[in-house]
Structure 1
């Protein structure tokens, strides 16, 4: 018995494009959307020149330092490997007035100005209230200024603000009454020394965009970290 084949056999329907397999769809789509910032980072040079303040900005800043009695030397551009460096570095020897910075520290003018304004406006007056009229700030001892490294000296992660000349770590403050206040955790210290240090730390947030007080984390137990990193809308991070 023979069977007649239909003149027009049915043709299997093609699957529409939108029903393609999941694997095909995923392969066709980009793995991730690249933001403008990420794209910029990908094409940015690995060893860019350090940013340079314009002449007017630098002149205004150094004039303000001079008015506050800050003593400094303008150094040659520091252009270290990677993103480390300072376009117009200063070597600061006197932090404010006749108060030495020991040892002398290398930083941007903006950092030096924030330090001088903070010392003059809050640290020195607060010392007179805490330790008696006539008490003068005699020395600011720093633990670190410019150094080419990552944050917290890690081998990976983001570059430190120290590597851009934006930061200074305060180790201790010495006063004319002979007292030296080491920067150690004093959150629960009910003495005038504790009150003074907490006042100094809180007021620093008006001048620096980052303030990490002694005891704020494991890597800041014996100094106060201050930096002038620029964040969106002037955001401050102070602990």
Structure 2
């Protein structure tokens, strides 16, 4: 009897494992973006592991550009640049406004690392535009920014760690120009509970699913007028900074 009970228990456990495996397989077929081992597809919705997969493109610029081309993201590859041992880039691209990317950039001449550019495109499609329509009743025509590449250390200090801006691996977003001509600015509209503030916070929270680092006015006074977005290397665990 005891042996029979053990056999029954093992059969139940085996059955549960089989059922669980089938359910996981079915879910993975329907939602590949939520699985860590599936190929990144920029045409898919944002999943649980999209942010980590985007950050992993730091070491594979050809694959990053190929994924952007496959998703219809308009861009121009920039020539490599080197300004001393700590500053420069090898895989930067300039985002265009054609293809599947309809948004503009102010100023227009924006070059970032390829993983940042890919994340910006997904941010527009899945976060920024839906949030603007929901809270503001219109779409975003352009993202206003303070730039990407800047050969400097963190906070412009004379010593210490170098900023992700030194490799064009970050962008500072100052605000948004809406299709109806209105402007939403981080420095003026972050505080409060009006539609503009809710839109900005949703844009920040959505960016946290795509970028390794997202810093806002909630972090410190140095970010009172912009959202800092970057794809910093955070090691094999892929932890993210979102504030």
For the criterion TM > 0.5, the same-fold answer is yes
**SS of 1:112 mapped into structure 2:** helix
Equivalent in 89, 100, 103 of residue 99 of structure 1: 103
Q: Which residue of 2 aligns with 1:192?
A: 195
2: CA distance, partners of 1:139 / 1:67:
23
Q: Which residue of 1 aligns with 2:25?
A: none
**After the TM superposition, which segments of 4 or more aligned residues of structure 1 sit over 4 Å from their partners?**
185-188
2: CA distance, partners of 1:69 / 1:136:
20
**Residues 1:218 and 2:218 are matched in the alignment:** no
Distance 1:188 1:74, change over 3 A: closer
Q: Which residue of 1 aligns with 2:174?
A: 171
Equivalent pair of 2:58/2:115 in contact (CA under 8 Å): no
* Greater RCO (CA < 8 Å, at least 6 residues apart): 2
Equivalent pair of 1:212/1:225 in contact (CA under 8 Å): yes
Q: Which residue of 1 aligns with 2:66?
A: 63
Displacement of 1:144 after TM fit?
Answer: 1.8
Q: Superposed, which structure 2 residues align to 1:113-128 within 5 Å?
A: 113-128=118-133
Displacement of 1:227 after TM fit?
Answer: 0.4
Q: Which residue of 1 aligns with 2:155?
A: 152
**SS of 2:210 mapped into structure 1:** coil
Equivalent pair of 2:103/2:124 in contact (CA under 8 Å): no
Distance 1:156 1:148, change over 3 A: same
Q: Which is richer in helix?
A: 2
Equivalent pair of 1:161/1:227 in contact (CA under 8 Å): yes
Equivalent pair of 1:91/1:105 in contact (CA under 8 Å): yes
Q: Which residue of 2 aligns with 1:238?
A: 242
**What residue ranges of structure 1 are gaps of 5+ in the alignment?**
1-51
Q: Which residue of 1 aligns with 2:142?
A: 139
Displacement of 1:66 after TM fit?
Answer: 3.4
**What residue ranges of structure 2 are gaps of 5+ in the alignment?**
1-56
**SS of 1:140 mapped into structure 2:** strand
2: CA distance, partners of 1:209 / 1:126:
21
Q: Which residue of 1 aligns with 2:14?
A: none
TM-score (normalised: structure 1) = 0.70
Structure showing greater Rg: 1
Alpha carbon RMSD of aligned pairs, Å? 2.2
Displacement of 1:94 after TM fit?
Answer: 3.3
2: CA distance, partners of 1:221 / 1:117:
24
Displacement of 1:53 after TM fit?
Answer: 6.3
TM-score (normalised: structure 2) = 0.69
Q: Which residue of 1 aligns with 2:75?
A: 72
